[in-house]
Amino acid sequence: MQLIFGTHNQNKVEEITKILPSGYVIKSLTDLNFNTEIEESGTTLEENALIKATSIFNIFKKDCFADDSGLMVNALGGRPGVLSARYAGNQKIAKDNTDKLLSELKGVNDRRALFKTVIALILEGNKYLFEGVIKGEISTSPKGQYGFGYDPIFIPEKHELTFAQLTMHEKNKISHRARAFKKLVGFLKS
């Protein structure tokens, strides 16, 4: 069975392919040569995941899913949240985003935060949402060389190291995205 994943990110495709039940084949937007940007105009991760999945379904008329993720910081009332990619500007520069966040949290003791992924699945015309969360805290300075985005400043709960100090394999065991992917796969298996 073919499922379209509304992404061009090959890492995400590989991550979910590893845990998919046999019989499922993932086609990414790159595989489908679909290069039009879908505007993420929602105000929540749920809305954005649904906007992406619905747009893809309307174009291809096939079973599909899309994800949206973000970092929510308690002391900032949940920011950057849905704006995580472009927190410091539309150029989406990870270092600018982490610098901005660290300067906003300067002197702030409550450093609790969480990463959240929402996946919207459209299967046989029905819509389903799956969510994965990892709690943690924001470090006082960036550390580590792996990963992307806010990884150098996010220390997952029960760990001493940032996401960027963990290997991709270690991060993928506990990440918000891995948890959401597992829920989607559990649903597809049931």
**Could you say whether residue 142 binds ligand IMP (CB under 6 A)?**
no
Provide the 3-class DSSP secondary structure of residue 117: strand
68 an active-site residue? yes
CA 132 to chain CA centroid, Å, is: 9
Provide the minimum distance between the beta carbon of 166 and ligand IMP in the complex, in angstroms, as a whole number: 11
Provide the 3-class DSSP secondary structure of residue 149: coil
Task: Kindly indicate which of the ranges 14-22, 27-35, 102-110, 146-154 contains the residues binding ligand IMP, using the contact rule CB under 6 A.
Answer: 146-154
Query: Residues 138, 158: contact at Cβ < 8 Å?
Result: no
Among 5, 57, 130, 150, binds ligand IMP (CB under 6 A): 150
CA-CA distance, 2 to 61, in Å (whole number)? 12
β-pairing verdict for 126-138 and 154-156: antiparallel
CA-CA distance, 122 to 12, in Å (whole number)? 18
Task: Kindly indicate which of the ranges 21-29, 56-64, 101-109, 147-155 contains the residues binding ligand IMP, using the contact rule CB under 6 A.
Answer: 147-155
**Could you say whether residue 68 binds ligand IMP (CB under 6 A)?**
yes
Among 11, 18, 148, 161, binds ligand IMP (CB under 6 A): 148
Among 6, 132, 142, 147, binds ligand IMP (CB under 6 A): 147
Report the site for ligand IMP in 110-129 (rule: CB under 6 A).
115
List the catalytic residue out of 68, 96, 110, 151: 68
**Could you say whether residue 156 binds ligand IMP (CB under 6 A)?**
no
The kind and range of the H/E element at 70 are strand 64-73
Cα-based angle 78, 164, 161 (whole degrees, multiple of 5):
85
**Could you say whether residue 69 binds ligand IMP (CB under 6 A)?**
yes
Task: Kindly indicate which of the ranges 17-25, 61-69, 121-129, 182-190 contains the residues binding ligand IMP, using the contact rule CB under 6 A.
Answer: 61-69
- Which strands form 154-156's sheet, in the order they lie side by side? 25-28, 2-5, 64-73, 112-123, 126-138, 154-156
Residues annotated as part of the active site: 68
| Residues engaged in binding ligand IMP (CB under 6 A) | 67-71, 84-85, 97, 115, 147-151, 163, 175
